[in-house]
Structure 1
Amino acid sequence: MTEARQFDADVIVVGAGPVGLSLASMLGLHGVKTILLERGDELIDYPRAVGMDDECLRTLQGIGMAEAVLPHLTPYHWMRFVTGSGRCFASIEPRTDEFGWSRRNAFNQPLVDRVLLDGLQRFSNVEARLGSDVMRFEQDADGVTLDVKRTDGSTYSLRSRWLVGSDGGRSPIRTALNVGFGGFTDTSKWLVVDVRNDPLGVPNIYLHCDPSRPYVSVALPDSIRRFEFMIFENESEEEMTQPHSMAMLMAKVLPPGVDPNSLDYIRKRVYTHNARIADRWKVGRVMLAGDAAHIMPVWQGQGYNTGMRDAANLGWKLAYVVKGIASEKLLETYQLERPPHAKAMIDLSVTAGRIFSPRNRWVVAARDFATWALNLVPPLKRYFTEMRFKPMPKYEDGLVVRESEINAEASIGQLLCQIARKTPLARFVPAAASGKKDDSPVGKLFIQPRVRTRDGEVKLLDDVLGSGFALVCWGVDPSFWLDQRSRDVLAALGARIITAKPVVQIHRDKDIGPDAIVVGDEQMRLKEWFGSHSGAVAVIRPDRFVAGLAYPAKINELLVQVADKMGLNVKQGAA
C-alpha cells in the first residue's frame, strides 16, 4: 500500500470552534492536507465569547481573514467596573495599537465562526466534515487512526499523521488520553441572557459590582445585548428562567416601565465558571488546544483569545514538521511555550472575578474605598486603564535564543555576576548585568506598525513579512555578514529579509543587497523598538514572536541556534 493511501490527511483537527477553524486555515495556507471534524451538523449559532483582543485579530490577519470579520466587530470596546452605588471605579480603555489592531473588541461569535468556516473553501487541501463524531482513536509510531460516526449512524475510519483535539472543555480527545484537567469549579452560578434589539443601546461592557446581585451588561454588534446575573446557591436554572424570575432580574437593568416579556430573547442559560488546565498538551502524535487544554472564568474575556494563541503557536509548527522543514523537536516547543501563559491568564481571570463579585458588605466597602484611592494616583490609574496588568505572552523556553546562547562573553559575564550576587559584593553588581531584570524582547510578540513600501503603499508590517520566518532589521542588510551555513538556514526557512529605513531613505540602495525588501518606517516605531534593545536584526517566527535578536556581526551564531532548536532540515549550498 502506498503512503498516499495509508493517510487520509496529514492532520485531523477535531472541533470546529474558532481554534479548530483557525488551525485548519493555517494548515491550508501551508499546503497541508487537513480534515476538520465537527460533531454537530451546524456550527453553534448562539453568542458565547464576546471579546476579541489585538493578538487574536493579528492571528486572523495572518490567515487572511481579518478584513472579513471586521464587520462583525466593535473596536475600542471599553470595560467598566461599577459599584453598587453607580460609581465607575475602574475603566479599562487601552488605546494602544502596538500589534496593529484595537486592543479590545466586542464581536458576534456565531457570525465570525461562519466567516472562518466559509474561508476554508479557499483551500483544495482542507475538508470540513460536520456531523462527524470521533468515537475512538488509536495512535502508533507513524500516525493516528480514528473511527468516526456520521449523523445518520454510519461509521468510517480515517488515518492521519497528527491529531489535534480542539473539541471543547469536556474534550473526549483529552479524556481518552487520560490527561488530567486540574483546577477548580466555582461554587457560584451565572445566568446568561442574550437579547436582540438591544433595549439599552449604550456602548461598552459594564460589570456592576452590586453585592445584592452582581450582574454584567455587554453591548454587542448587530444590536445584541448580553446580561449575566449571579445565581445564588438556593436558586435553580429552571426557577430563574421562569417569567416571574426573569422579570425580577431584568428590572435591575431595564428602564422603568419596560416589560421584560417584550424582549426578543436569543437564549437563557445557567453556567458555572471553571479554572482548569490540562496536565499535558501533547501526548505522542496528539495535541490539545483551546478549551480542551484550558478553561477560565469570563471576567477578562480571555478564554477565546487564549485558544487563538494556541492555534497561532501550533499551526505553523505542525505545517513545518509535516512538510519536512523541521523535525518533531519543533512540536515539543508547543508544550514548553503555551501552558505557562495560559495559566497566567486563568489566574488573572480568577482574580478579576473576585474583585467583581464579592457579596460580603465589608469586603465590598474595602474594595470600593481602595479603588477610589487608587484612582487618585495617576500611574496606578494608567496601569488599569491601559490594561498593563494583562500578562503578555513571553516564552522563556522553546524556540527562543537568548543573548547568552550566541554571545559567550556575555554568558561568562552574567555567570560571574550571579556568583558575585551571593557574596558581600552583591550591592556593587548592577541588576541588569546580573540578569536580575530581563527586558529582552526575545520570546515576546513583535510589534506591528504601519510601513511604506517602495510602491508607495502603506501596509501593516505582517503583510510584508509573509507567512514564514523573517529577518527584520533597522537600517542594515545583514547579507554582508551571512556565511554559507546561514544562507542555507534562511533558504530552508524560506525567510525574508526586511530592512526598515526612514521613509525618506527607502529608495536608496546603498549597502542593500538584492534579497532585502526595503520598507519605510512610517510611524518610526521600528526605530524606537530597535533603539530600545541590544541588536539590529530580529529573527521573527511565523507566529510573529521574536526567536532571537543580534547585531549584524553575530547573525550567524543566532541562526545556528534557531536551526538547532527546531531541528531544521538544512540542505547545504555551494561553498
Structure 2
Amino acid sequence: MAQPFPSRPERIPTIPRYCSGIAHHCSLCVAPWRGVPALSRSRYLQPSQGGFVNKNAGVAANSVDADGAEDGPDVLIVGSGPVGLTLANILGARGLRVLVVEERAELIDYPRGVGLDDESLRTFQSIGLADRVQRHTIPYQILRFVNGEGKLLAEMAPSAGEYGWPRRNGFVQPLVDAELLRGLERYPGVTVAWSTRMQDFAETRDGVDVTLADADGETRRVHVPYVVGCDGGRSGTRRLMDVDFEGTTSATRWIVVDLENDPLGTPNSYVGADPARPYASISIAHGIRRFEFMLFAHETDEQVDTPHFVHRLLGRHIPRPEDAAIIRQRIYTHHSRIASSFHRGRIMIAGDAAHLMPVWQGQGYNSGIRDAANLGWKLAAVATGTAGQALLATYDEERRDHARAMIDLSTTVGKVISIRNRPLARLRDTLLTRASILPALKRYIVEMRFKPMPRYTSGAVVPAATENSPVGRLFIQPTVATPAGEVPLDEELGNWFAVLAWNNDPVTLLGKEAADSWRAFGARFIAVVPQAQLGYGGYGPDVRLVGDPGGIKSWFDRHRESVLFLRPDRFVAAACLAQEAPETSRRLLGALHIAATAPDAPADVPARIEGK
C-alpha cells in the first residue's frame, strides 16, 4: 500500500541567537512570543490540491477509508516541543511512520526550561543525541539558597553520576530543541507539518480520524492508529479527550528576564529567599543569565513592562543594570496541575499537556522527557504489533504518581522560598541553617536525595517481592569495558530490551523457549563479568560480554538478584536469581502483553549524530 506521508525533507529550520522582545507569556498559553522573528518561513508541508505536500520529496498516492479519511502514519504527535520531538525520535528509531503537527510556523525561539537532569540526558543518549545536547549545557551546576542578606541557607551540589550523566545541568532550551528537531533527519518516515493544527478527532474501532487545518483554514482528514498530544498547558488534545486538569494556579505573578553577556559571569545559580522580594539568578549556557523576580499585587503589567522597572529590579544584583543586554522578558504564573487521565483508548497526552508544576525544582521539562521515555517504547511495541493494546494503560499507571510527587515537591519548595512575613522568614532561615550542621541532613540536601525517584510497583513490571528489590527502579549506568574499549553501559544495552546476568550466560539461564521469545522481541543478551575475565570464552554467539571495573558488582552486592530484565527506558522490569530466570521471563512477557508471534524488531538507533 502506498504511504500517504512523504519521507522527511533534508532541510530543517535553523535557530538563531535570541532576539529582543518584551511581552507577557503564561505557561498555560501557547501563543508565540511577541517580537521574536521567524526561524524559517519555509515549511516542511504546504497545502496543495489533494493534500499537504512535502516540498522536498515526492508524494505517494493517498488511500481513503469509508469515512473519507486518508490513511495516515502510525502515530500522530501534536506539538513540536521537547516532549513531542523526543517521542518522535524514539518512534522513528523503531521504524515507525510519524507525523508531528505544529500550530506555529517554527520552533519557539525563547528559553523556558533552564535545568536538565541526568535522567533526561540518559534519554537523549538513547536516541543518539546526548553529545549534541551537552554542547548547550553547564554540567554539575550548583544551586545555592540564600536569605535576604545573602547568607547561605542550603546548597545543592550533587557530584554522583550513577546514571552516567551529571545530575544538575543548566541549559538553553531552544538550542536543545533544535538538536532534537535535527535528530529527526535520520528517519525518512518522520515528518513535521508546520502551521498545522489538530482541529478535531473521533476515535474509531481501529484508530482515530483526525481533522487537520493549515494556517489558511484548509482542512484534511487522516486516519491514524494513535494520537499523542504534546501540545502544552492549554492542550487541545486534553480538551478533546474531555479530561479534567486538576489543581491550582497561583495568584502571584513573576517576571523572568534573560540577559546575554552574563553581567555576573559566575557558573552557578542562586535562589533568593528574600522576604523583600524573592528572586532567582540562574547561569545557563553560552553566556546567558536568567533572573526571576516575584511581582506584587499593586505592580500592574503595564508598569512592569518597561525597561525602567526591570533595571530597578536588576539593580540589587548586578553592578550596572542600565548596561544589561536584555534578550527578553515575560510575566508568568505558577501552576500545580495534573490531568485526570494521561490515556484514553488510542489517545494519550504527555508533558505540560498532562501536568504543570512550579519552576523551583527545574522538573517541568524533565518530567515531560520522562513521559516520552516511558510512553515511547510502549507505543512502539503496540504500534508494530509486538505487544497488545493493554500495554498502553501502564503509561498512566506508572507516570501519574511520580508526576504528582514532583508537583507537590515543587509547590512546597516554592512556598518555603516565597515567604514574605519577616518573622516566619527568620524562623525558616534558622531551621535551614541548623539543618546544614547535621552531616546526614546536609548530604540529603547537597546530593538531592529528597528528589523523588520513580519506582513502579505495578504496570509493565513483575512486582517486587521485597522492599529492597530493584524492580521498578532505574538501573545504573557505569562505564564498562568491551573488546573495543570503555563505553557507558547503555551503549552495550542498546535502545530496546536487554537481559543482563552477572557472571553467567543469560541465554543458558533462560532456556531455549524463553531465549527464543526474547530474540523474537529484539532483546539483547548481556553477560557482565569482572573486567579481569574479559576475553575468556564460553558464551554463546549472541551474548555480549561486558567487563565490569567494579561498579556493577557493587550494585549486585546490595541486592539478592543476579539476573535483570531491563526495559528500553532502563528501568528494571524484573529481577531474579539465576535458576528463576525461565519463570520470571514467563511472568514478564505476560505483564508486557507480548504478542504470541512478535515481528522482527528493527535495528538499533545509531549511537549518535555525526557531523556538525
TM-score by length of 1: 0.91
User: Equivalent residue for 2:292?
Assistant: 228
1:521 Cα offset (Å): 0.8
Contact 2:100 2:193 in 1 (8 A): yes
The percentage of aligned residue pairs carrying the same residue is 46
Equivalent of 2:164 in 95, 100, 105: 100
2:38 maps to 1:11: no
Contact 2:385 2:598 in 1 (8 A): no
What secondary structure is seen at the aligned counterpart in 2 of 1:547?
strand
Kindly report which structure 2 residues correspond to 1:137-152, keeping only aligned pairs within 5 A, or say none. 137-152=201-216
User: CA separation in 1, counterparts of 2:267 and 2:552?
Assistant: 34
Distance 1:244 1:89, change over 3 A: same
User: CA separation in 1, counterparts of 2:598 and 2:461?
Assistant: 24
2:541 maps to 1:514: yes
Equivalent of 2:496 in 446, 468, 488: 468
Write out per-residue CA displacement over residues 326-368 of structure 1, whole angstroms, 9 at most, x where no aligned residue. 1111111101100100000001101111121100111101111
User: Equivalent residue for 2:428?
Assistant: 367
Equivalent of 1:399 in 460, 464, 482: 460
User: CA separation in 2, counterparts of 1:316 and 1:470?
Assistant: 13
Equivalent of 2:511 in 483, 497, 502: 483
2:152 maps to 1:124: no
2:471 maps to 1:442: yes
User: Equivalent residue for 1:525?
Assistant: 551
User: Equivalent residue for 2:593?
Assistant: 567
User: Equivalent residue for 2:532?
Assistant: 504
User: CA separation in 2, counterparts of 1:282 and 1:183?
Assistant: 18
1:204 Cα offset (Å): 1.1
User: Equivalent residue for 2:306?
Assistant: 242
Kindly report which structure 2 residues correspond to 1:137-536, keeping only aligned pairs within 5 A, or say none. 137-255=201-319, 258=320, 260-404=321-465, 438-455=467-484, 457-510=485-538, 512-522=539-549, 524-536=550-562
User: CA separation in 2, counterparts of 1:168 and 1:560?
Assistant: 39
User: CA separation in 2, counterparts of 1:35 and 1:243?
Assistant: 42
User: CA separation in 1, counterparts of 2:593 and 2:317?
Assistant: 57
Write out per-residue CA displacement over residues 505-530 of structure 1, whole angstroms, 9 at most, x where no aligned residue. 111124x22221101113x1110111
Contact 2:386 2:598 in 1 (8 A): no
Contact 1:80 1:206 in 2 (8 A): yes
Gaps of 5+ in 2: 5-62, 66-70, 600-612
What secondary structure is seen at the aligned counterpart in 1 of 2:455?
coil
2:93 maps to 1:29: yes
User: CA separation in 2, counterparts of 1:289 and 1:551?
Assistant: 36
Contact 1:325 1:492 in 2 (8 A): no
1:403 Cα offset (Å): 4.6
Write out per-residue CA displacement over residues 223-279 of structure 1, whole angstroms, 9 at most, x where no aligned residue. 111110000112122211223322221111111xx1x33322121111000000000
1:307 Cα offset (Å): 0.3
What secondary structure is seen at the aligned counterpart in 1 of 2:111?
coil
Q: Comparing both structures, which one devotes a greater share of its residues to helix?
A: 1
Contact 2:74 2:96 in 1 (8 A): yes
User: CA separation in 2, counterparts of 1:329 and 1:48?
Assistant: 35
User: CA separation in 1, counterparts of 2:567 and 2:238?
Assistant: 28
1:151 Cα offset (Å): 2.1
User: Equivalent residue for 2:28?
Assistant: none
User: CA separation in 2, counterparts of 1:379 and 1:537?
Assistant: 33
1:467 Cα offset (Å): 1.4
Between the two proteins, the alignment pairs up a number of residues equal to 535
User: Equivalent residue for 1:420?
Assistant: none
Contact 1:534 1:549 in 2 (8 A): no
What secondary structure is seen at the aligned counterpart in 1 of 2:135?
helix
Contact 1:329 1:565 in 2 (8 A): no
User: CA separation in 1, counterparts of 2:517 and 2:292?
Assistant: 53
CA-atom RMSD in angstroms: 1.6
1:572 Cα offset (Å): 10
Q: 2:393 is aligned with what amino acid?
A: E
Distance 1:119 1:478, change over 3 A: closer
User: CA separation in 1, counterparts of 2:225 and 2:597?
Assistant: 24
User: CA separation in 2, counterparts of 1:247 and 1:73?
Assistant: 27
User: Equivalent residue for 2:584?
Assistant: 558
Mean CA deviation greater in 478-487 or 328-337: 478-487
Distance 1:200 1:572, change over 3 A: closer
User: Equivalent residue for 1:407?
Assistant: none
Contact 2:76 2:224 in 1 (8 A): yes
Gaps of 5+ in 1: 405-434
User: CA separation in 1, counterparts of 2:253 and 2:385?
Assistant: 48
TM-score by length of 2: 0.85
Distance 1:118 1:385, change over 3 A: same
What secondary structure is seen at the aligned counterpart in 2 of 1:340?
helix
User: CA separation in 2, counterparts of 1:484 and 1:518?
Assistant: 19
What secondary structure is seen at the aligned counterpart in 2 of 1:247?
helix
Mean CA deviation greater in 489-498 or 184-193: 489-498
Contact 1:489 1:559 in 2 (8 A): no
Contact 1:208 1:215 in 2 (8 A): yes
Q: 1:518 is aligned with what amino acid?
A: L
User: CA separation in 1, counterparts of 2:509 and 2:148?
Assistant: 64
Contact 2:475 2:571 in 1 (8 A): yes
